[in-house]
Every structure is written in structure tokens, then in C-alpha cells.
């Protein structure tokens, strides 16, 4: 092997090592696992890496996911605490599945990625930076899919979905959300919406009493699908002040479990 090739390999090794060390440093991780579709890491699936995380750990486990489309249904079980997923870019690291309420035995089981554990963080994976792509089929009846079905039962519940800086594209005609429960709370902020979004935007699940109790909001969204002139009356265009609580990390109690590296990692890297 020539000296030039050896030097190149050494340079590549140092670069990769430096990036890995940077991830570890920023996330303050005590264990690092690598997922690679082609076998270049510790695991070839995201689920197998998550299953290898120590149960009920008080230390962070960093799972670095190399570029690829990971077609799998993933569950972070309750005991898999303090997990950080680090992708290589939301357009490069993608986790997807295609269950429906019918195929999975109910809406509750139709998730692609479910988290039941405390202190879960993810960076630069498509479902975090949130590129939402509809794969709904065109139908004669019009609506062929729904992005969210949030289940807030009462005004005192501290639950809801907040989507910030997202992209929604794909096929079919879909609603932003339906009122699965009376106080369903969903907000989209600064999100690009393509024509796949139905002009009415939202659905009350066939129960008009929920029109008065749901929080279905949009804030500074743009694109053809963000035209709100034909939105349902209970869908609201939020002011900056109204949207603030949904775009701040306090909405997810982030001040209690996110550190500054989680918030500013992307800018630093």
C-alpha cells in the first residue's frame, strides 16, 4: 500500500473518530452504539440497538444511525431510559413503517416509532426534524389519511403534539389531525404544507361538541396546503403570543431533562 493511500486512510479515520467523539461529548454519553444497514456498525436495525440499551440506566446511551432508510417498526420500551438517537441528517437517516389502524389492530398500535421511556432525545432523523410524507392513496371520497389523532381527555391534561419547522408532502388528501378525544391539542408552526393537505385542514371525528374544546392551531405555516381560507371554524391561526408556549421547550418540560448540547447540537456540528 502506498504512503499516499495510508495517509488518506489515516486522515479519514481521524475525521470519523473526531465526529464520533464530538457526538459523545455533546450528548455526554457513557455508551455509544452504531447502527448501519450495511453492517458497518454494531447493529443493522434501530430496534436491535435500542434493545441493547441497559435497562433503567441513569446514564445516557448514544445510538448513532448511519445514512439509510430503516424500514422497521420501532419501540423504545419503558425501561430503555436516557436514549439519544443521532442521525446523519433528516434527509439521510430515515425510519419508516406503513401500518394502519386496520393492519395493526387499532389506531393505538399503528405507530411507526413509539417512545415509552423517560428522557428520550433524537437529532437529525426524519421523524424528529419532521419531514412528514403522506403515502395515502387517492380515493374518490376525498380524504385518504390523517397525520395526527391526539387523545387529550381533559383541559387539565398536560399532553399535546407540537410540530415546528416541518415539511409535509406526499400523495392523497389528508387532514392535519382529528379530535380523537374532546380536548385534542395539535399545533403546527413554521411548517411547509403541500397540496396534500385538505383545504378544511382538521376533523372533529364526527362529534361537533369537540369543536368548542379542541386546540387545533397553525402558526406561520406556508405552501399551498397552508391556505386557511377554507379551514374549519375550530381550526385557528395562532398569533406569536398564542404559539409561544407550543414552540418553547417548556412544552415538553425540556428544561428538566434537555441540556444545552441537545438544543444547540445541530448548529455546533
- Which residues are registered as beta bridge partners of 96? 71
Residue ranges per domain, the chain?
Answer: 1-129, 136-253
Over the stretch 174-217, which tens digit does the pLDDT of each residue have? 999 999 999 999 999 999 999 999 999 999 999 999 999 999 99
Over the stretch 100-147, which tens digit does the pLDDT of each residue have? 677 878 767 777 888 888 888 888 887 643 656 665 565 556 787 888
**Band of residue 22 on the pLDDT scale cut at 50, 70, 90:** low
Over the stretch 135-155, which tens digit does the pLDDT of each residue have? 556 555 678 788 898 889 999
Coarse DSSP helix, strand, coil percentages of the chain, rounded to the nearest 5 percent: 30, 30, 40
Which regions of the chain does DSSP assign to beta strands (E)?
A: 29-35, 60-65, 68-71, 74-76, 83-86, 93-96, 113-115, 121-123, 131-135, 145-150, 161-164, 167-171, 174-179, 185-189, 192-193, 202-203, 215-219, 235-237
**Band of residue 169 on the pLDDT scale cut at 50, 70, 90:** confident
> Does the pLDDT at position 25 exceed 90?
no
Per the CB < 8 A criterion, the answer to whether 214 and 234 are in contact is: yes
> Does the pLDDT at position 14 exceed 60?
no
Task: Mark out the alpha helices in the chain (DSSP H runs).
Answer: 3-27, 46-51, 101-104, 240-247, 254-257, 260-268
DSSP code at position 126: I
What pLDDT score was predicted for residue 203? 95
What is the assigned CATH class of domain 1-129?
mainly beta
Per the CB < 8 A criterion, the answer to whether 128 and 153 are in contact is: no
Q: Classify 13 as helix, strand or coil.
A: helix
pTM of the model: 0.62
Report the first-to-last Cα separation within the chain, whole angstroms.
33
What pLDDT score was predicted for residue 268? 42
Helix pair 3-27, 260-268: axis angle to 10 deg: 150
> Does the pLDDT at position 264 exceed 50?
no
> Does the pLDDT at position 27 exceed 80?
no
Look up the CATH number of domain 136-253: 2.160.20.10
Over the stretch 229-251, which tens digit does the pLDDT of each residue have? 999 999 999 999 999 999 887 77
What pLDDT score was predicted for residue 257? 62
> Does the pLDDT at position 19 exceed 60?
no
Is the pLDDT higher at 28 or at 45?
A: 45
Share of the chain above pLDDT 90, in %: 49
| Nearest 10 degrees: Cα torsion 223, 242, 128, 104 | -90
Cell output for 26: 455533546
Mean pLDDT taken over the chain: 82
Q: Is the dihedral of CA 65, 117, 152, 72 positive or negative?
A: positive
| Alpha carbons 61 and 122: distance in angstroms, whole number | 12
What pLDDT score was predicted for residue 6? 38
What pLDDT score was predicted for residue 33? 94
What pLDDT score was predicted for residue 165? 87
- Which residues are registered as beta bridge partners of 35? 43, 65
Amino acid at each position: 500500500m502506498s504512503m499516499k493511500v495510508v495517509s488518506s486512510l489515516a486522515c479519514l479515520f481521524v475525521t470519523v473518530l473526531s465526529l464520533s467523539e464530538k457526538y459523545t461529548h455533546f450528548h455526554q454519553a457513557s455508551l455509544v452504539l452504531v447502527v448501519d444497514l450495511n453492517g458497518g456498525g454494531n447493529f443493522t436495525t434501530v430496534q436491535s440497538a435500542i434493545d441493547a440499551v441497559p435497562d433503567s440506566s441513569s446514564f445516557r446511551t448514544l445510538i448513532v444511525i448511519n445514512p439509510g432508510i430503516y424500514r422497521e417498526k420501532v419501540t423504545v420500551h419503558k425501561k430503555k431510559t436516557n436514549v439519544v438517537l443521532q442521525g446523519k441528517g433528516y434527509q439521510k437517516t430515515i425510519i419508516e413503517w406503513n401500518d394502519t389502524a386496520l393492519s395493526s389492530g387499532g389506531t393505538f398500535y399503528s405507530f411507526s416509532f413509539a417512545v415509552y421511556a423517560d428522557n428520550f432525545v433524537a437529532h437529525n432523523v426524519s421523524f424528529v426534524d419532521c419531514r412528514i410524507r403522506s403515502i395515502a392513496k387517492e380515493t374518490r371520497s376525498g380524504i385518504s389519511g390523517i397525520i395526527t389523532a391526539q387523545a387529550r381527555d381533559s383541559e387539565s391534561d398536560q399532553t399535546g403534539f407540537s410540530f415546528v419547522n416541518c415539511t409535509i408532502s406526499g400523495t392523497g388528501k389528508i387532514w392535519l389531525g382529528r379530535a380523537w378525544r374532546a380536548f385534542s391539542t395539535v399545533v403546527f408552526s413554521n411548517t411547509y404544507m403541500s397540496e396534500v393537505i385538505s383545504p378544511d385542514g382538521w376533523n372533529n371525528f364526527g362529534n361537533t361538541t369537540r369543536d368548542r374544546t379542541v386546540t387545533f392551531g397553525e402558526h406561520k405555516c406556508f405552501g399551498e396546503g397552508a391556505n386557511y381560507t377554507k379551514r374549519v371554524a375550530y381550526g385557528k391561526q395562532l398569533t406569536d403570543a398564542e404559539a409561544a408556549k407550543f414552540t418553547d421547550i417548556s412544552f415538553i418540560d425540556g428544561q428538566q431533562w434537555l441540556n444545552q448540547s441537545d438544543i444547540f447540537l445541530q448548529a455546533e456540528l
